[in-house]
Amino acid sequence: MKDRLTPNRTVHHLSSLNNTPCAVILPILTIGGEEHILFEVRSSKLAWQPRDICFPGGRIEKSDASALDAAIRETMEELGVDRSDIDILGPLDYIESMAGVTVWPFAARIHTQDFTLSHGEIAEIFTAPISYLRSVRPEEKHMEIATRPGPDFPEDVLYNSFRGDRSWKRRKTYSVYIYRYQKWPIWGITAHILRHFLSLYQAGEDAMETHGDQREGAAGF
């Protein structure tokens, strides 16, 4: 026991959510000299979140060497781009969602605008200028979380409040951010990742102004 529990033991994340591990790319394009972020509109034929706005990405498969490899593979499949078109800028913070997924995002510059969409998954794509996204304050709304015991949960270990009553009980709320660009509402996990990226972008720009660094590119990277 002593050799397994030490003061400097590396701590790992322990989750009880049984989430599906996923990875996405936040794609940055330069259009007309201005930096844009590319978004996908999910196909209406999909069973899960049809027509929602998302970033390229998907499930991390056992064959993927890493979350980054999964994000790159999915982006190549969904946008029809080559690996050489994807320039990884850096990882963003991962997000563990109550929607049933844990997402590892990566920011990347995409060096092409010649896309061949995977129409079984993606209905269409659009881009939004980073300057516009930085200029707006996202709406902050709230989702409610509720729990109830599953049919296999033993009655003798339930809290008194659940005994004899297996209906849903509200536990708490969590924040959901919404960006609106033209006709598109960007919300949920995608908006959380976007908001985090924009905060890093702003921090990088502030640092460049402080130190007089005027290099081009995504400022936070």
Print the SS3 string covering 18-86: CCEEEEEEEEEEEECCEEEEEEEEECCCCCCCCCCEECCEEECCCCCCCHHHHHHHHHHHHHCCCHHHE
In this prediction, the residues of the chain whose per-residue pLDDT falls under 50 are: 208
Query: What is the rounded CA–CA span in Å between residue 92 and residue 56?
Result: 15
Check: CB of residue 27 under 8 Å from CB of residue 37.
yes
Residue 154 confidence (pLDDT) = 83
Domains of the chain by residue range: 20-143+170-211
Residue 98 confidence (pLDDT) = 82
Phi first, then psi: give them for residue 134, nearest 5 degrees: -75, -25
Residue 158 confidence (pLDDT) = 73
Residue 156 confidence (pLDDT) = 78
CA neighbours closer than 13 Å in the CB half-sphere of residue 203: 8
Q: Where are the beta strands (DSSP E) in 97-138?
A: 101-110, 122-129
CATH of domain 20-143+170-211: 3.90.79.10
- pTM tops 0.95: no
